[in-house]
């Protein structure tokens, strides 16, 4: 197995999402990430289903990895007000969980539901986030709003551009609320540069997610490419966020039927190589 030099500073900022190596259980992912010199593991709730918080913490602590994020909360949008309350309660539990496993932030995929104007849904999202601020502050867990590509605006996210996420941050005005910039979702946006600049000024650049956009894309969800295998100017976007004050984790988040079918250690080695090139 290829080991990367631990003194390489860029490796200290590399984190991998558990969904990226979905076939590996948490303990194996943590072991292998640490052995490859990766510094952080962002934990998807699906990866810890059925595990106690202390089991998760023990695995993470034994590996020496940090936890940039618990992924993912949100999904606030439903026409039924009681259901929206239930979803807010669910996010309260996720914030608590994030605090207990020392995750720095909870990523929010804010949700969307067909048949309601997106502007109304964004109002629900604002109400929901505002009602979680006390819990987030108490748990010292940041809330990172992740805009999703407009192809998901029907049922996954009513926040599709950095502009909408930034406006939400400005409306809420809370130091625990910021944005996750995922290159997959925002690379096409002509406002990318100006919005990253504004988010930097707001101290709201919380997370940076890496993968690539395959051409042509064969599946709307599970065909993300390894960095360098698509059309995104990853190096340019990375430079942009860093120039605007971002010094946090570079989180590799790849959902890919193709890569999940591969030997996961070989995939991880490729991730490390490509990361060092981008």
Q: Do 199 and 166 touch, CB atoms closer than 8 A?
A: yes
Of 35 and 45, CB closest to Zn ion: 45
Extract the tokens encoding 272: 């490390």
Of 39 and 68, CB closest to Zn ion: 68
Tell me the closest approach of the beta carbon of residue 183 to Zn ion, in angstroms: 9
Extract the tokens encoding 188: 């096409």
Tell me the closest approach of the beta carbon of residue 107 to Zn ion, in angstroms: 7
Instruction: Give the interface with Zn ion as residue ranges (CB under 5 A).
Output: 182, 209, 253
Extract the tokens encoding 43: 């934990």
Of 84 and 192, CB closest to Zn ion: 192
Tell me the closest approach of the beta carbon of residue 241 to Zn ion, in angstroms: 14
Phi first, then psi: what are they for 87, rounded to 5°? -70, -35
Of 209 and 274, CB closest to Zn ion: 209
Give all strands (DSSP E) within the chain, no chain letters. Answer: 14-17, 40-44, 67-74, 103-109, 142-145, 177-182, 205-210, 250-252
Tell me the closest approach of the beta carbon of residue 61 to Zn ion, in angstroms: 25
Give whole-number Cα distances, 18 to 25, 39, 48, 113, 271, in Å.
8, 13, 10, 27, 13
Tell me the closest approach of the beta carbon of residue 209 to Zn ion, in angstroms: 4
Of 4 and 254, CB closest to Zn ion: 254
How is residue 150 annotated by DSSP? G
Of 42 and 264, CB closest to Zn ion: 42
Extract the tokens encoding 70: 């618990």
How is residue 22 annotated by DSSP? T
Tokens 């990361």 belong to which residue? 275
């Amino acid at each position: 197995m290829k080991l990367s030099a631990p003194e390489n500073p860029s490796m200290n900022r590399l984190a991998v999402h558990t969904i990226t190596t979905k076939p590996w259980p948490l303990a194996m992912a943590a072991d292998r990430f640490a052995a490859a010199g990766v510094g952080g593991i962002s934990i998807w709730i699906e990866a810890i289903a059925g595990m106690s918080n202390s089991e998760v913490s023990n695995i993470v602590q034994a590996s020496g990895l940090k936890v940039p994020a618990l992924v993912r909360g949100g999904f606030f949008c439903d026409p039924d007000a009681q259901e929206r309350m239930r979803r807010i309660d669910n996010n309260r539990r996720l914030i608590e969980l994030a605090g207990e496993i020392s995750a720095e932030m909870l990523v929010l995929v804010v949700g969307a539901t067909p048949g309601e104007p997106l502007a109304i849904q964004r109002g629900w999202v604002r109400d929901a986030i505002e009602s979680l601020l006390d819990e987030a502050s108490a748990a010292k867990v940041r809330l990172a709003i992740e805009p999703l590509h407009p192809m998901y605006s029907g049922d996954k996210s009513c926040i599709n551009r950095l502009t909408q996420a930034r406006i939400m941050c400005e409306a809420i005005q809370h130091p625990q609320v910021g944005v996750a910039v995922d290159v997959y979702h925002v690379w096409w946006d002509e406002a990318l540069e100006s919005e990253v600049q504004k988010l930097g000024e707001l101290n709201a650049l919380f997370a940076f997610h890496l993968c690539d956009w395959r051409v042509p894309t064969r599946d709307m969800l599970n065909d993300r490419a390894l960095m360098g295998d698509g059309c995104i100017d990853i190096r340019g976007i990375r430079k942009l966020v860093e120039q605007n004050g971002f010094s946090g984790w570079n989180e590799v988040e790849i959902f890919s039927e193709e890569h999940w079918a591969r030997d996961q250690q070989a995939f991880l080695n490729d991730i490390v190589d490509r990361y060092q090139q981008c």
